[in-house]
C-alpha cells in the first residue's frame, strides 16, 4: 500500500509539473509576443476619456499628454499611422504638431486623423510622405523592423512560439520517460501546432476562421500521430553451442551449382541428410540420402540420348517394367542397320548407379558392366555401341531371338542400396538381310594432313573402320585388288575398341618434305566368299608431310634472380621454333630428366611457340630439364639453371649529397623514393616522387633550411614503416 501511495504521489507531482510547464509555455510565448517598446523612444501615456484626449503611438491609441499609462487599445491591422512627425495648419491658421504614431484613416482622396478632438484631412502627397503601416511590436519583429501583420512578422512570430514549444516538448518527453523517437515526435508536434497557430493569428490576411487555436491543435495532433512509434522491449537469449546442420535434406541439390563447385563441407551444411557422391571426379554431386527410403530408382528413357532417325516405342517405366523398344525410322520393319553406331540412354528420378547386361540376372551385382563405363551416381546414363549383322551375332555369345531380335537388361541402385528387382528391358532387332555396304574409315591415329619428324620417311598409321575389314594402301589411286601394300587388321568381333571401331595398321613409306598422298581401300567380311564381300569403290585419301627439326631458345630464368617473399613466384619461359607447325609444340619440365617425371607446362601448345609455367620456389640454386615435342614427333631438350636470391628487406640509403643545386641520394639496390617536408607519418602514395624510379640514384630540388623525410621501396614493395633517411639542408659551415 505504501509503494502504491508513493507511485500515485509521484504521478501527481509529474502531472502538476507538466501543467506548470504548459502555463509557463503560454506565459513565455505571451511575453515575447507583446508589443516591445525601445528605450530610446518611449511610448506616450495612455488614458481613457474624459480624463485625456487620445493620440497614437505605434498601433496603440494613447493620450497626447504625459499622464501615466493606463489602458491600451489595439488598432485594427489595416490601420495606418504617421511615421514621420510634421506640422499642419488648423482651420484658424494655427500650426498643429502631428506626432509620430498618430492614427490615420485612409479615404479616397487621402486620409483623415483626429488630434485633440479636431479632424484634419491629409492629401495624397502627405499620405505618401508621412503615413505608413505600423511597425510590429513583437520581440524579434520589432528588432527587425517588420511591418505589423505582414507575412514576415507572422513568420518570425510563429518561429518564436515554435522554438519555445519544441524545448517544452523535450522536457515533457524526458519527464515521462518517453523514447528518444517519441520525444522528438512530441516536440515536433508541439512546435508545429503552436508555431502555425501564432503565425496564422498574426498575419493580417488570415481568414477569421483560420486564426483559431483549434487549427494549431489539429496540426500538432496530425504531426504527432504521423511520427509516433510504438516501441516494445524483448529479451533475446543467445547460447553459443556447437553448430549442427539443419535437419532433413530438401535443399541438398542447391549445392550443385555449375558456376561454383560443391565441396563436402558445403553439401553437409545444407542438411543432415545431404551427402556428397562421386568424390574426386568431375561429377561430384550433393544428394539427399534418406535413411527411411526403401524405394528403388524409377527408370525412364532419355530422349536426348538417342541416335538420329531412331525412336523409343512401347515405353513402360520401371518399376515394374518392362522397358522400351528402339526402332529405326527409315526401315520397314524398324530393325537397326548392321555396324551402325547406336546410342541410347535412361534417366532415373534420383542419383543412381546403372548396370547393363545381355543376359538375365537375379541382382544388380550379378550384372556384367556399368552403363557409360563408370559407377557414378547420376541422373542420366547412356550406352553407345555398334552391333554386327544378325549372322555375326548368331555365331557369337549374344543371345538372338527369331534370328534378329536382341534384348539388353538394365538395373539401377541408389545410394541407400535400393535396386530394381525387375530388369528394365531394352529391345531392338538387327536387320537380317545380307550386308551390302562397304566398310567406312572413321578415324586415323595421325591427323590427316599431319607431318612426321625430321629425317623420317615412313610412319606407322592406324586406320579405324566401322566393321571388320581387310585394308590396303597405295601411293596411287587404284582398285583394291591392284593395291600392293597390305595392312594388319583386327577382324574378330571381340577386337573392337572402346570407340566401337576395328583397327587396321599400316607402315606408310616414301614421305617427302612436301605433302605426300596415300590412297586406302577396304573390303568387309574377312573370311567370307568374295562374292559376299563389299569393297570401297572410292579411295580414302590420306596425306603426310616431312618437317625440319624443332628448336628451343630463350630459356628463362638464368643467372641470378631476386625475390621478396618465401616462397617466391618464378616463371619458367621457353620459346620453340620450326618443327612441324612453325614452333607449335607441347613442352614439359622435370627435376630428374626421367621420362615418367616430366610435367607439362601450364601454358603450352600455343601458335606463337611461347610456353610458360609458374613455380613457387625457395632461395637457392635450381636446375630444370626442359623437353618439347611437336605434332610430328620432333623432340628437343635443354636445361635451365638459376640462383634465386630472396631479399625481404627494404632498400638502404648508402649516400646523401648535393650536386648542381639538387639533393641526391644513392640506394644499394634499384628502388623508387618519395619525400615529405612535414614528418615521416605519410604513406608512400602520399609522398612527392623523386626521380628516378627503378634505379639507385634519386634526386629532389635543393631548398635551403628544409628537412626532407625520405622513404624508399624496391620493386617488390618492400619498405620500412619509418623513413629510410631524414635530411636537413643547410649551408656548408666550412
3-state secondary structure 120-168: EEECHHHHHHHEECCECCCHHHHHHCCECCCHHHHHHHHHHHHHHHHHH
Alpha helix segments (H runs only) across 355-506: 390-394
Higher pLDDT, 709 or 91: 709
Higher pLDDT, 60 or 185: 185
SS (H, E, C) 475-544: CCCCCHHHCCEECEECCCHHHCCCCCCEEEEEEECCCCCCCEEEEEEEEECCCCCHHHCCECCCCEEEEE
User: What b/e sequence results for 440-451 when a residue is b if at least 16 CB atoms lie within 10 Å of its CB, and e otherwise?
Assistant: bbeebebeeebb
Mean pLDDT is lowest, of 133-147, 428-442, 652-666, for 133-147
Q: Convert the pLDDT of each residue in 180-219 to its tens digit.
A: 888 888 889 888 888 888 888 877 677 777 778 888 888 8
The number of residues in the chain equals 734
| CA atoms of 219 and 230, how far apart (whole Å) | 20
Q: What are the residue ranges spanned by the domains of the chain?
A: 1-36+148-231, 54-136, 252-288, 299-429, 441-545, 550-646, 653-728
Give the model's pLDDT for residue 394.
Answer: 54
Give the model's pLDDT for residue 70.
Answer: 32
- At the topology level of CATH, where does 550-646 sit? Immunoglobulin-like (2.60.40)
Mean pLDDT is lowest, of 16-20, 307-311, 366-370, 512-516, for 16-20
| CA atoms of 459 and 342, how far apart (whole Å) | 33
CATH class of segment(s) 441-545:
mainly beta
Confidence of residue 43 (pLDDT cuts 50, 70, 90): very low
Common-topology check for domains 299-429 and 441-545: yes
Give the model's pLDDT for residue 61.
Answer: 36
Higher pLDDT, 654 or 243: 654
Q: Convert the pLDDT of each residue in 511-558 to its tens digit.
A: 998 899 999 999 998 988 888 899 999 999 999 999 999 999 999 999
pLDDT at residue 7 above 60? no
User: Is 323 strand, coil or helix?
Assistant: strand
| CA atoms of 341 and 18, how far apart (whole Å) | 97
Give the model's pLDDT for residue 27.
Answer: 47
Give the model's pLDDT for residue 62.
Answer: 38
Average pLDDT over residues 336-354: 89
pLDDT at residue 175 above 70? yes
pLDDT at residue 463 above 90? yes
Give the model's pLDDT for residue 546.
Answer: 92
By percentage, how much of the chain surpasses pLDDT 90?
44
Average pLDDT over residues 71-99: 66
pLDDT at residue 16 above 50? no
pTM: 0.53
Q: For residue 654, what is the DSSP state?
A: E
DSSP per-residue string spanning 22-71 = HHHHHHHHHHTTS----TTSPPPP---TTSS-EEEETTEEEESS-PPP--
Give the model's pLDDT for residue 22.
Answer: 53
Confidence of residue 673 (pLDDT cuts 50, 70, 90): very high
Give the model's pLDDT for residue 179.
Answer: 83
Confidence of residue 492 (pLDDT cuts 50, 70, 90): confident
Give 344's strand partners: 383
pLDDT at residue 77 above 70? no
Give the model's pLDDT for residue 8.
Answer: 38
By percentage, how much of the chain surpasses pLDDT 70?
83
Tell how many helices (H) and how many strands (E) occur in the chain. 8, 42
* C-beta separation of 587 from 628 below 8 A: yes
pLDDT at residue 301 above 90? yes
- At the topology level of CATH, where does 299-429 sit? Immunoglobulin-like (2.60.40)
DSSP per-residue string spanning 685-733 = GGSEEEEEEEEEEEEEE--TT-EEEEEEE-TT----SS-SEEEE-----
Give the model's pLDDT for residue 112.
Answer: 83
Alpha helix segments (H runs only) across 559-609: none
Average pLDDT, the chain: 82
Confidence of residue 296 (pLDDT cuts 50, 70, 90): very high
pLDDT at residue 25 above 70? no
Question: Which residues, 6+ apart, have CB-to-CB distance to 530 below 8 Å?
Answer: none
Strand positions, DSSP E, 322-388? 323-328, 341-357, 369-370, 378-386
Give the model's pLDDT for residue 189.
Answer: 85
Average pLDDT over residues 320-343: 86
Q: Do strands 110-115 and 118-122 pair parallel, antiparallel, or not at all (unpaired)?
A: antiparallel
Give the model's pLDDT for residue 639.
Answer: 96
Average pLDDT over residues 151-172: 85
Q: Convert the pLDDT of each residue in 151-161 to its tens digit.
A: 787 788 888 88
Q: Convert the pLDDT of each residue in 359-385 to its tens digit.
A: 889 999 999 899 988 899 999 999 887
Higher pLDDT, 456 or 75: 456
Confidence of residue 733 (pLDDT cuts 50, 70, 90): very low
Give the model's pLDDT for residue 321.
Answer: 66
Mean pLDDT is lowest, of 48-57, 316-325, 384-393, for 48-57
pLDDT at residue 37 above 70? no
Mean pLDDT is lowest, of 79-93, 407-421, 433-447, 588-602, for 79-93
Amino acid at each position: 500500500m505504501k509503494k502504491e501511495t508513493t507511485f500515485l504521489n509521484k504521478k501527481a507531482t509529474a502531472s502538476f509539473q507538466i501543467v506548470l510547464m504548459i502555463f509557463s509555455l503560454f506565459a513565455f510565448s505571451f511575453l515575447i509576443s507583446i508589443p516591445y517598446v525601445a528605450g530610446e523612444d518611449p511610448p506616450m501615456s495612455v488614458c481613457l476619456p474624459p480624463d485625456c484626449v487620445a493620440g497614437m503611438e505605434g498601433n496603440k491609441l494613447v493620450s497626447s499628454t504625459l499622464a501615466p499609462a493606463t489602458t491600451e487599445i489595439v488598432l485594427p491591422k489595416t490601420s495606418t499611422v504617421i511615421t514621420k512627425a510634421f506640422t499642419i495648419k488648423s482651420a484658424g491658421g494655427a500650426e498643429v504638431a502631428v506626432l509620430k504614431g498618430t492614427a490615420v484613416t485612409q479615404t479616397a482622396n487621402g486620409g483623415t486623423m483626429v488630434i485633440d478632438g479636431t479632424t484634419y484631412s491629409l492629401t495624397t502627397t502627405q499620405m505618401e510622405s508621412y503615413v505608413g503601416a505600423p511597425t510590429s511590436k513583437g520581440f524579434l519583429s520589432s528588432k527587425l523592423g517588420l511591418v505589423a501583420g505582414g507575412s514576415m512578422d507572422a513568420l518570425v512570430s510563429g518561429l518564436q512560439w515554435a522554438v519555445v514549444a519544441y524545448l517544452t516538448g523535450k522536457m515533457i518527453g524526458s519527464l515521462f520517460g518517453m523514447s528518444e523517437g517519441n520525444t522528438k515526435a512530441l516536440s515536433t508536434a508541439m512546435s508545429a501546432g503552436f508555431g502555425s497557430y501564432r503565425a496564422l493569428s498574426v498575419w493580417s490576411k488570415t481568414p477569421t476562421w483560420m486564426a483559431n487555436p483549434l487549427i494549431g491543435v489539429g496540426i500538432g495532433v496530425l504531426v504527432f500521430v504521423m511520427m509516433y512509434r510504438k516501441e516494445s522491449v524483448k529479451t533475446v537469449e543467445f547460447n553459443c553451442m556447437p553448430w549442427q546442420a539443419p535437419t532433413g535434406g530438401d535443399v541438398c541439390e542447391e549445392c550443385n551449382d555449375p558456376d561454383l563447385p560443391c565441396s563436402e563441407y558445403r553439401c553437409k551444411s545444407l542438411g543432415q541428410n545431404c551427402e556428397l557422391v562421386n568424390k574426386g571426379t568431375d561429377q561430384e554431386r550433393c544428394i539427399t540420402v534418406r535413411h527411411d527410403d526403401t524405394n528403388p530408382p524409377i527408370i525412364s528413357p532419355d530422349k536426348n540420348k538417342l541416335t538420329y532417325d531412331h525412336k523409343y516405342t512401347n515405353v513402360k517405366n520401371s518399376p515394374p517394367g518392362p522397358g522400351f523398344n528402339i526402332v529405326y525410322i527409315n526401315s520397314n520393319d524398324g530393325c537397326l542397320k548392321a555396324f551402325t553406331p547406336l546410342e541410347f540412354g535412361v534417366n532415373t528420378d534420383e542419383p543412381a548407379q546403372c548396370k547393363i547386361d545381355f543376359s538375365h540376372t537375379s541382382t544388380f551385382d550379378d550384372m556384367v558392366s556399368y552403363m557409360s563405363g563408370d559407377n557414378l551416381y547420376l541422373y542420366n546414363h547412356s550406352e553407345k555401341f555398334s552391333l554386327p549383322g544378325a549372322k555375326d551375332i548368331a555365331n557369337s555369345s549374344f543371345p538372338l531371338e527369331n534370328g534378329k531380335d536382341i534384348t539388353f537388361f538394365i538395373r539401377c541402385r541408389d545410394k541407400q542400396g535400393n535396386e530394381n528387382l525387375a530388369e528394365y528391358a531394352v529391345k531392338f532387332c538387327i536387320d537380317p538381310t545380307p550386308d551390302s555396304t562397304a566398310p567406312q574409315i572413321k578415324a586415323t591415329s595421325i591427323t590427316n594432313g599431319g607431318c612426321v619428324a625430321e629425317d623420317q620417311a615412313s610412319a606407322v598409321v592406324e586406320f579405324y573402320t566401322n566393321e571388320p575389314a581387310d585394308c590396303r594402301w597405295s601411293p596411287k589411286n587404284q582398285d583394291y585388288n591392284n593395291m600392293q601394300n597390305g595392312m594388319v587388321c583386327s577382324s574378330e568381333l571381340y577386337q573392337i575398341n572402346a570407340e566401337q571401331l576395328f583397327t587396321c595398321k599400316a607402315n606408310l613409306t616414301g614421305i617427302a618434305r612436301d605433302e605426300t598422298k596415300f590412297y586406302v581401300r577396304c573390303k568387309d567380311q574377312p573370311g567370307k566368299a568374295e562374292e559376299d564381300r563389299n569393297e570401297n569403290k572410292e579411295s580414302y585419301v590420306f596425306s603426310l608431310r616431312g618437317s625440319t627439326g624443332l628448336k628451343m631458345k630463350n630459356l628463362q630464368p638464368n643467372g641470378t634472380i631476386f625475390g621478396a617473399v618465401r616462397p617466391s613466384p618464378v616463371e619458367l619461359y621457353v620459346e620453340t621454333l620450326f618443327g612441324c607447325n612453325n614452333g607449335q609444340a607441347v613442352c614439359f619440365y622435370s627435376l630428374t630428366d626421367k621420362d615418367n617425371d616430366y610435367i607439362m607446362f601450364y601454358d603450352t601448345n600455343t601458335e606463337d611457340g611461347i610456353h610458360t609455367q609458374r613455380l613457387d620456389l625457395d632461395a637457392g640454386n635450381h636446375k630444370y630439364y626442359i623437353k618439347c615435342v611437336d605434332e610430328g614427333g620432333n623432340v628437343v631438350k635443354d636445361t635451365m639453371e638459376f640462383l634465386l636470391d630472396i631479399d625481404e628487406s627494404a632498400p638502404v640509403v648508402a649516400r646523401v649529397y648535393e650536386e648542381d643545386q639538387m639533393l641526391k641520394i644513392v640506394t644499394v639496390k634499384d628502388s623508387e623514393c618519395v619525400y615529405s617536408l612535414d614528418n615521416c607519418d605519410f604513406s608512400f602514395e602520399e609522398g612527392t616522387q623523386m626521380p628516378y624510379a627503378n634505379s639507385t640514384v634519386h634526386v629532389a630540388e635543393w631548398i635551403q633550411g628544409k628537412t626532407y623525410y625520405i622513404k624508399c621501396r624496391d620493386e617488390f614493395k618492400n619498405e620500412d614503416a619509418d623513413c629510410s633517411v631524414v635530411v636537413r639542408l643547410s649551408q656548408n659551415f666550412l
